[in-house]
């Protein structure tokens, strides 16, 4: 023992190396007894030379692992050499205070004067083990995460071979990983889509571009389902191309739904165009009918009217009042019917947007007086029209449409009022706007009917006993809109109705 110490001491350089080494060094003999340890080993194990000298090496090995780890110092070493980097199989050493710590051990031995001796180099690898564990844990965590992502994940190498597929992928195809790796995955692609799939994949590879595609892939139940796949090139930290990573999502339901919807849209569009065509044909028919009716009704009406006028002429000579009364009825009926025909025609033209404004210069006050003159025959006994006019007289506007609007509103006012009532026609014409107020003391319009008053063919509930088609106000409203004005009314049942019309005009010089 002492001799060996002297031998080492004999070499001053070696002694220094031994003392200053940051590796723990133990010298043991053939039976595993410790002969010597350097300062670093003393620090590592917490023993000093005196305490350990002659002690068996097992003292430095955890108690519960002694029998498992080795029977002798040679096994201790041999085991380590067999598994130099096996993670999780770290070799542990025991400190004096009973603590364990992972170590890295290497050994060299020699024989001296027939005695077998060994140098055991011991490194504390606590830090490395910690790091390694951390890395391993992270990797497991990451792999778990990728494996359990709700999308299928794939990875390929620079040679376009598949190197990784996550569990979601395998769960979809029902295949084992080794069936799918390399080019195996192409077996799951629907044969009809394979060429397309590969061409997208290959051309993306050639240009190192990202790609997205839709193709069908065989589900483990045998059904081909629509998959939306994306991929993008990957690069290492030093910017070397490492292949592609991508994901695939089952979009079958979505895609099927889209297909169904598209088909539905096509069907509906067709139905709609048929309906539109029918509508157009119906409209054409209506227009032809209205036009024909208007013409064909006017011819017999012409005869009725002219014959009546002739009867009037002859009868007038004989002076029969009863005949005159009936002639007057025929004349006003013909006139009503002619007006209705005109309304039909006007509405049809309005519906086809064929009505245009025809502005002309005229005297508005004169026009109003004319209208009042024209509606005189409609006045009931004791009915009065009170007319006032304030403002510009010579204006530029569509006088025919204006005449229709005002005449219609005054006719209505008279028609829906009793005998001995007043109709007030109030007009203010200035600053580019003519304002008309037509107020009656008539039957009024039921509240619930107000919103329908401008709807074609609509008649208020209390209007059924009055003759009318329900077209007049509709045409009035359309004309007002055409001129760019506005119309509104207030009405109280049994008290009367008041229409307000505002129309823009240009002053005529």
Partner 1 sequence: MKTVLVIEDNPDIRENTAEMLELENFNVVTAEDGLQGLELALAHLPDVILCDIMMPKLNGYEVLKQLKENEATVNIPFIFASASVEKKEIKHAMQLGADAYIRKPFDLTELMELVNKFIDR
Of the candidate residues 128, 307, 352, 376, the single one contacting partner 1 (CB under 8 A): 307
Tokens encoding 10: 């004999």
Nearest residue to 375 (alpha-carbon basis) of 330, 300, 438:
438
**Contact criterion met (CB below 8 Å) for 362 and 395:** yes
Work out whether 303 is an interface residue with partner 1 (CB under 8 A). Answer: yes
| Binding status of residue 338 toward partner 1 by CB under 8 A | yes
Encode 204-241 in three state secondary structure: HHHHCCCEEEEEEEECCCCCEEEEEEEEEEEECCCCCE
Binding status of residue 302 toward partner 1 by CB under 8 A = yes
Number of residues written out for the chain: 509
Q: Which of 102, 106, 105, 104 is nearest to 126 (CA)?
A: 102
Task: State yes or no: residue 331 binds partner 1 (CB under 8 A).
Answer: yes
- Which position among 123, 163, 342, 469 is part of the footprint of partner 1 (CB under 8 A)? 342
What is the distance in angstroms between the CA of the first residue and the CA of the last residue of the chain? Answer: 139
Which of these ranges, 42-50, 170-178, 300-308, 428-436, lies near partner 1 under the rule CB under 8 A?
A: 300-308
Local structure of 394: helix, strand or coil: strand
The least CB distance from residue 317 to partner 1, in Å, is 10
User: Rounded to an integer, what is the distance from CA 219 to the centroid of its chain?
Assistant: 29
In the complex with partner 1, which residue's Cβ is closer, 272 or 309? Answer: 309
Q: Which of 30, 171, 181, 301 touches partner 1 (CB under 8 A)?
A: 301
Residue 313 binds partner 1, judged by CB under 8 A: yes
Question: Residue 163 in 3-state DSSP?
Answer: strand
Closest to partner 1 by CB, 29 or 312: 312
Q: Give the range of 138-146, 309-317, 430-438, 487-495 binding partner 1 by CB under 8 A.
A: 309-317
Nearer to partner 1, 291 or 399 (CB): 291
* Contacting range for partner 1; rule: CB under 8 A; set: 165-173, 249-257, 296-304, 387-395: 296-304
Query: Of these, 16, 135, 274, 310, which contacts partner 1 (CB under 8 A)?
Result: 310
Site map 251..290 versus partner 1, x via CB under 8 A: ----------------------------------------
- Least separation in angstroms between residue 309's CB and partner 1 is 5
Contact region with partner 1 (CB under 8 A), list: 50-58, 153-161, 334-342, 482-490: 334-342
Bridge pairing between strands 394-397 and 422-430: unpaired
3-state secondary structure of 498: strand
Spatial neighbors of 415 by CB under 8 A, at least 6 apart, are 378, 466, 467, 468
Strands (DSSP E) along 125-280, which ranges?
152-156, 162-165, 211-218, 224-235, 241-250
Region of 131-139, 215-223, 301-309, 434-442 interacting with partner 1 (CB under 8 A)? 301-309
Choices 43-51, 277-285, 295-303, 456-464 (CB under 8 A): range interacting with partner 1: 295-303
Residue number with CB closer to partner 1 (17 or 309)? 309
How far is residue 409's CA from residue 425's CA, in Å, rounded to a whole number?
10
Q: Which one, 253 or 335, has the nearer CB to partner 1?
A: 335
Residue 342 C-beta: closest distance to partner 1, Å: 7
Closer to partner 1 by CB, 26 or 305: give it: 305
Helices 252-318 and 321-351 sit at what angle, rounded to 10 degrees? 160
CB of 383 to partner 1, least distance (A): 24
Q: Which two tokens stand for residue 469?
A: 């088609």
Q: Does 309 bind partner 1 (CB under 8 A)?
A: yes
Asked if 357 is part of the footprint of partner 1 (rule: CB under 8 A), the reply reads no
CB of 298 to partner 1, least distance (A): 4
Size of the site for partner 1 (CB under 8 A): 21
C-alpha 224/C-alpha 190 separation (Å) is 7
CB 348 to partner 1: min, Å = 11
Q: Does 360 bind partner 1 (CB under 8 A)?
A: no
Given 179, 234, 291, 462, the residue binding partner 1 (CB under 8 A): 291
CB of 376 to partner 1, least distance (A): 14
294 is an interface residue for partner 1 by CB under 8 A: yes
- 3-state secondary structure at position 438: strand
Instruction: Judge contact between 215 and 196, C-beta under 8 A.
Output: yes
Distance from C-alpha of 52 to C-alpha of 442, rounded to nearest angstrom: 128
In whole angstroms, how large is the CA radius of gyration of the chain? 55
In the structure encoding, which two tokens stand for residue 9, read together?
Answer: 């001491």
Examine residue 482 and tell whether it contacts partner 1 (CB under 8 A).
no
* Residue choice 68, 236, 239, 299 for contact with partner 1 (CB under 8 A): 299
Contact indicator for 413, 440 with CB cutoff of 8 Å: yes
How far is residue 438's CA from residue 422's CA, in Å, rounded to a whole number?
A: 11
The closest alpha carbon to 169, from 244, 111, 249, 91, belongs to: 249
Residues in contact with partner 1 by CB under 8 A are 291, 294-296, 298-299, 301-307, 309-310, 313, 331, 334, 338, 342, 345
């Amino acid at each position: 023992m002492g001799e060996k110490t002297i031998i080492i001491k004999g070499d001053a350089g070696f002694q220094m190396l031994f003392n200053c080494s940051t590796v723990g060094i133990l010298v043991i003999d053939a039976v595993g007894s410790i002969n010597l340890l350097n300062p670093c080993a003393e620090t590592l194990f917490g023993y000093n030379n005196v305490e350990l000298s002659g002690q068996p090496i097992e003292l430095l090995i955890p108690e519960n692992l002694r029998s498992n780890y080795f029977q002798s110092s040679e096994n201790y070493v041999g085991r380590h050499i067999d598994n130099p980097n096996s993670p999780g199989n770290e070799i542990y050493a025991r400190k004096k205070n009973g603590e364990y710590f992972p170590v890295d051990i290497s050994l060299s031995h020699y024989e001296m004067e027939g005695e077998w001796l060994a140098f055991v180099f011991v490194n504390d690898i606590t830090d490395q083990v910690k790091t390694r564990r951390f890395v391993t844990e992270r990797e497991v965590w990451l792999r778990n995460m990728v494996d359990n992502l709700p999308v299928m994940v794939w990875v390929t190498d620079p040679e376009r071979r598949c190197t990784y597929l996550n569990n979601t992928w395998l769960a979809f195809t029902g295949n084992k990983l080794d069936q799918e790796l390399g080019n195996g995955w192409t077996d799951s692609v629907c044969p009809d889509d394979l060429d397309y799939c590969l061409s997208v994949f290959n051309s993306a590879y050639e240009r190192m571009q990202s790609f997205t595609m839709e193709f069908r892939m065989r589900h483990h139940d045998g059904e081909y389902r629509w998959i939306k796949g994306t991929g993008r090139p990957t690069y290492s930290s030093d910017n070397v191309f490492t292949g592609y990573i991508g994901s695939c999502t089952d979009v079958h339901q979505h895609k099927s739904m889209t297909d169904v919807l598209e088909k539905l849209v096509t069907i509906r569009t067709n139905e709609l165009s048929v309906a539109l065509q029918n509508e157009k044909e119906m409209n054409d028919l209506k227009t032809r009918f209205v036009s024909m009716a208007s013409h064909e009704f006017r011819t017999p009406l012409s005869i009725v009217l002219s014959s009546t006028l002739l009867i009037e002429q002859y009868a007038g000579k004989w002076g029969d009042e009863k005949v005159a009364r009936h002639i007057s009825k025929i004349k006003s009926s013909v006139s009503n019917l002619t007006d209705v025909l005109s309304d039909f025609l006007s509405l049809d033209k309005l519906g086809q947007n064929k009505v245009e404004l025809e502005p002309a210069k005229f005297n508005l006050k004169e026009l109003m007086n004319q209208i009042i003159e024209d509606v005189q025959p409609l006045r009931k006994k004791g009915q009065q029209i009170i007319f006032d006019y304030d403002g510009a007289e010579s204006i530029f506007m569509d006088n025919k449409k204006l005449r229709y609007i005002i005449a219609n509103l005054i006719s209505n006012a008279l028609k829906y009022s009793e005998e001995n009532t007043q109709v007030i026609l109030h007009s203010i014409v200035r600053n580019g706007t003519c304002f008309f107020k037509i107020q009656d003391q008539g039957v009024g319009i039921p509240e619930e009917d107000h919103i329908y008053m401008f709807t074609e063919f609509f008649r208020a509930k209390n209007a059924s006993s009055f003759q009318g088609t329900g077209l007049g106000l509709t045409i009035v409203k359309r004309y007002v809109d055409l001129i760019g004005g506005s119309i509104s009314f207030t009405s109280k049942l049994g008290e009367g109705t008041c229409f307000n019309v505002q129309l823009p005009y240009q002053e005529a010089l």
